Structure 1
Amino acid sequence: MKYFFTAFVSLATCTAGAQESLYTARDLTAENMFSQNIEGPNFDRDGNLYVVNFQKDGTIGKINTQNGSGEVFVTLPEGSIANSIQFHRNGHMLLADFKGHNVLQVNMRTRAVSVYVHHPFFNQPNDLCINKKGQLFASDPNWKNGTGQLWRIDKPGKAVLLANQMGTTNGIALSPDERTLYVNESVQRRIWKFDVNARGHISNKTLFAEFPDFGFDGMKCDKAGNLYVTRYGKGTIVVLSPEGKQLREIPLKGKACSNLVFGGEDGKTVYVTLQDRKCLETFRVEIPGKDF
C-alpha cells in the first residue's frame, strides 16, 4: 500500500510538473547567435528548422532543435535580406526579401538562389503564408509612410495586388481551413480578417482585434483555429480564439518577439525569434499547429 501511494504521488507530481511546463518559455539557442533582424522561423518537410539572418544579415541558418546549435545553410546575393521563410509544396524555400524588394526561391538540393517574383510596386515584402495549392500571400509594408499592401503570388513571376489601402501590414496567417486570412498592422495595432474563396480572392474585410499599446509582428494558427500573435515590445504571445476572444498571454524572456512557428514531432512546440536577445526561445502548448 505504501509503495502504491508513493508511486501515485510521484506520478501526480510528474503530471503536475508537465502541466506547469506548458506555456513556459526557455532558451533554445544562446543569445547573440543571430543579427538583430532574426525572423521567419520555419520547418521543411523533413523537420529541419531554418531561421533568417544567422550570425549576420543576408544568411539563412539551419538550427539544431535538440541542442540549439546552428550553421549557415545559404548566403543570399548581395543586397538581399530575408524576413520570412515559407516552403512550397515542391519543397523549395521561399523568402520575403525586404531589402531587395523580391520574393526569392532557394533550391534545397543545390542551394541556388533565384528570384521567384519581383514587382515594381513592391514596398518591402515582409511576411508570407502559403495554402495547399501553393498560392503565396505576402504582407508588404511601407514603414516610412505607415501604409501597407497585401499580395497573392500564384506562380513564379505572377503577383496579384489584393489590397493597397492598409496600415503597416506585417504578420499574416491562414486559418486551418484556409477560408480566413489574418493580417495585422504593426503600427496601428489592428488585426484584420478576410474571407478567402477557392481561387484565393479575398473579401469582407473585418476588424478582428485591436490593442491600445505595443506592436505586432508574426502570427500563426493552431489546429483549433486559435491565432498566436507576437506582441512586439511587450515580450508576449497573445492567443486569440477564432472569435477574437483573448484566451491567454504567454510571457517570454525577451521583449522584441518577431515571429513564431509550431514544430516538434507532435506540433506542440512553439519556436519564437527574439530581436533584442538575438536568439530563439521555445515553449510547449496543448494544441498543435494547423499543419500537424
Structure 2
Amino acid sequence: MQRKHAVVLGTALSLVVSCASQQSDTELYQSQDWVTDGVFTQGVEGPAVNRDGELFAVNFARQGTIGQVSGKGKAGLYLSLPQGSTGNGIRFDAQDTMYIADYTGHNVLKVTPDKTISVLAHNPQMHQPNDLAISDKGILYASDPDWQNNKGQLWRILPDGQTQLLRTNMGTTNGIEVSPDNRTLYVNESVQRRIWAFELDEQGMIGDPELFYEFNDHGLDGMRCDENGNLYVARYGAGEVVILSPKGQLLRKVVLKGQYPTNIAFGGKQGKQVFVTMQKRGAIETFTSEYAGRSFNRHTL
C-alpha cells in the first residue's frame, strides 16, 4: 500500500511540474503593454537599459527628449536634447555613459550619468545617424541611412570620438548589433529587407559582408542579440519580432499588439524581459524571452 501511495504521489507531483512548465511556456513571448499609448510620441525609438535596470527611450511626450521608465506605466522626462537635435538609437557603455544617435543634428551625442551632454562624434559625410551598436571594447557602430535615395552607410566610432566610414553604397542601413562574442556585426537594410553579417577583427574592423537573412515583405528596424547569439529583429509593418539563430534559421515570430515596432532592448532582473518601442502608438510593449540579452551581467544591456 505504501508503494502504491508513493506511485500516486509521484505521478501527482509529475503532473504539477508538467502543468507549471506548460504555464511557464505559455507566458513566454506573450506581448503586453509596458507603457501605454501616447505617453511617448509616435517617433518613440531607441530603447536601452542602464546598469540600474532603468529603461530609456527617445521622444517622451515631445520630440527631442529622452524618457525614463522605472517600472510598468512609470515614465517621465529624463532630459531634453539641445535645440536642433532629435534622438533615435541609444546605447550605454561600461561606465553607464549614454550614447545617442542624433539624426537631425547629424551627431552622436554623449550623456554622462550627471546628464552632461556633449557631441562625441560629428562628420559632414553622415546623412543621419540612426541606430547604434556597441562592442565590449566600447567601439560604437552607427547605421546611417539615406532614405531619399534608398542607400546607406556604416560608421565605426572610437571612444575618443574618431569616426571612420566603414561602408558606403549599402541599402537603407537601419538596425545594427554586435554578436555576444564580438566577432560579428549585423546590419540590416530596411527597405531592401536584408540582414548582412560582417566578421569583426580584434580592432573592430569589418570583413566582407555575407547575406545573413532576407525577408519577402515589410520593413526591418532595430535588432538585438540574446546571450546565445540569437538575433531579435523588429519587423516594421508586420507587427512582430522575428528571432533568428546565429546560423540564420528562423526560430520564432513574436506577435505584438501594434503593427510598427521600431527597436528592441533587453532588461528585467534576469535580463530576459524584452522591451519593444511601438511607432504610431507612442507606446512600449514587453514580452519575456527564454534567454537574457547578450550583455546581461557584462557591460550593458
Q: TM-score range by the shorter chain?
A: over 0.9
Which one-letter code corresponds to 2:276 in the other structure?
A: V
**Other-structure match for 1:241:** 245
Question: Which string of whole-angstrom CA distances, capped at 9 and with x for unpartnered residues, describes residues 25-70 of structure 1?
Answer: 01111111111110111111221111111111111111023x3211
Which piece of structure 1 moves more, 234-243 or 149-158?
149-158
- Per-residue deviation at 1:4? 8.0
1:162 paired to 2:172: no
Q: Secondary structure at the match of 2:238?
A: coil
Counterpart residue number, 2:27: 21
Aligned to 2:224: 220
Q: 1:49 aligns with which of 37, 55, 64?
A: 55
Q: Which amino acid aligns with 2:267?
A: G
Asked if residue 276 in structure 1 is aligned to residue 280 in structure 2, the reply is yes
Amino acid at match of 1:155: P
Partner of 1:85: 90
Asked whether the equivalents of residues 243 and 253 of structure 2 are also in contact (C-alpha less than 8 Å), the reply is yes
What TM-score do you get using the length of structure 1 for normalisation?
0.95
Q: State the alpha-carbon separation in 1 of the partners of residues 240 and 69 from structure 2.
A: 23
Are 1:105 and 2:106 counterparts? no
Which amino acid is the alignment partner of residue 101 of structure 1? H
- Written as runs of structure 1 = structure 2, the 5 A alignment for 1:115-130 is 115-130=119-134
Q: 1:71 deviation in Å? A: 0.8
Query: How far off its partner does 1:11 sit?
Result: 4.9
In the aligned structure 2, how far is the partner of 1:271 from the partner of 1:83?
15
Q: Secondary structure at the match of 1:13?
A: helix
Per-residue CA deviations over 1:245-266 (Å, capped at 9, x if unaligned) read: 1111110000100000111111
Q: What is the CA–CA distance in structure 1 between the aligned matches of 2:36 and 2:246, rounded to whole Å?
A: 35
AA partner of residue 159 (structure 2): K
Alignment correspondent of 1:181: 185
- The 5 A counterparts of 1:67-86 are 67-86=72-91
Residues 265 and 275, structure 2, Cα contact 8 Å, conserved in 1: yes
Of all paired residues, the percent bearing the same amino acid is: 48
- Return the letter of the residue paired with 1:208: F
Gaps of 5+ in 2: 297-301
The C-alpha deviation readout for 1:167-226, integer Å capped at 9, x for no partner, is 000000011101000000000101001000001110121111111110000000111111
Q: 1:148 aligns with which of 131, 148, 152?
A: 152
Is the contact between residue 43 and residue 280 of structure 2 (CA under 8 Å) also seen in structure 1?
Answer: no
Please give the alpha-carbon distance, in whole angstroms, between the structure 2 residues aligned to 1:27 and 1:12.
28
Shift of 1:157: 3.2
Local SS of the residue matching 1:199: coil
Q: Cα distance, 1:6 vs. partner?
A: 6.8
The residue aligned with 1:290 is: 294
Report the TM-score, using the length of structure 2 for normalisation: 0.92
Contact 2:242/2:252, CA 8 A, preserved across alignment: yes
Alignment of 1:129-144 (within 5 A): 129-144=133-148
SS at match of 1:64: strand
Larger radius of gyration: 2
Q: Which residue of 1 aligns with 2:270?
A: 266
Check if 1:33 corresponds to 2:43: no
2:299 aligns with none
